[in-house]
Amino acid sequence: MIKVLLVEDEIIALNGIAALIEGSDLPCQVVGVAEDGYIGMHKAKTFMPDIVITDIKMPRIDGLTMIKNISSWGAAPQVVVLSSYSDFEFAQKAIRYGVHDYLLKPVTAEELLGTLARICNMLLGSPSDISLSQLPDDGSVGGYLPIVESMIAYIRENYNCAASIQDISATLRITPAYASSLFSKATGKTFTDYLRDVRLAHAKRLLLSTDDKIYEIAYKVGYNDDKYFCRLFKTHTGVSAKKFAQKQAEHRAPDTVET
């Protein structure tokens, strides 16, 4: 049986996950539970689990520190993170510490059991079937969500500067071609298209909420060439940035009342 360690400071969630795993048909056994990273670290030493499912924000020692310490012993369990955090810095660290999957709360039973099933298949089969150096044969991206999450977080935090697939792939230590292919499979959009859509969404917000000039807004959302920004905006919205702002202003303008 594949040994699983659960680390979660919410007791109801901890017991629920344990019951879910034990009641499934997966070849897994919950060998230990812990309510914080400190206890989790010691139980990892005792039970040497094959899989660690952990929360991040916990008392005494957080999940990332626990994972880092476990890795420093030479142990290499498959780690599944359950968290409500999706910032770029966290995703970077999660990948660096060998996190296999990153699931945002609230997590459904289907998501969790599906993730465990993939890990079990990997552990019972050939570990080389799943690797950061190649895409899965079936095109699945389930085990690669930390990478995709980090790319999306990167775009959201850096849309207003010279964000590029080369920069993010270098940060994640993967090739631009691999990063691009994985991102497209996961989101249905290219990295460039996703970045453009985020920038235009922010541009619309600025057009509606500020009196900034068009060239100022273009610069604020990452375009140094305001003419290119205007062409792009009209192509993808069907109206020029100037008319978009005017039309929205007309809708917001209060009716005048003569006295």
Structural domains present in the chain = 2-133 (3.40.50.2300), 193-252 (1.10.10.60)
What would the DSSP string read from start to end of 20-83?
Answer: HHHTSSSSEEEEEEESSHHHHHHHHHHH--SEEEE-SS-SSS-HHHHHHHHHHTT---EEEEEE
Among 71, 82, 68, CA closest to 9:
82
Phi, psi of 109, rounded to the nearest 5 degrees: -60, -40
Contact 58, 83 (CB under 8 A): no
User: How far are the Cα atoms of 54, 122, 144, 204, 254 from residue 133, in angstroms, in the given order?
Assistant: 25, 15, 11, 38, 58
**pTM for this entry:** 0.52
pLDDT at 97 over 50: yes
* pLDDT score of 42: 93
Question: Which segments of 210-225 does DSSP mark as H helices, in order?
Answer: 214-220
What is the average pLDDT value for the chain, to the nearest integer?
A: 80
Distance in Å from the first CA to the final CA of the chain:
83
pLDDT band for position 101 (cuts 50, 70, 90): confident
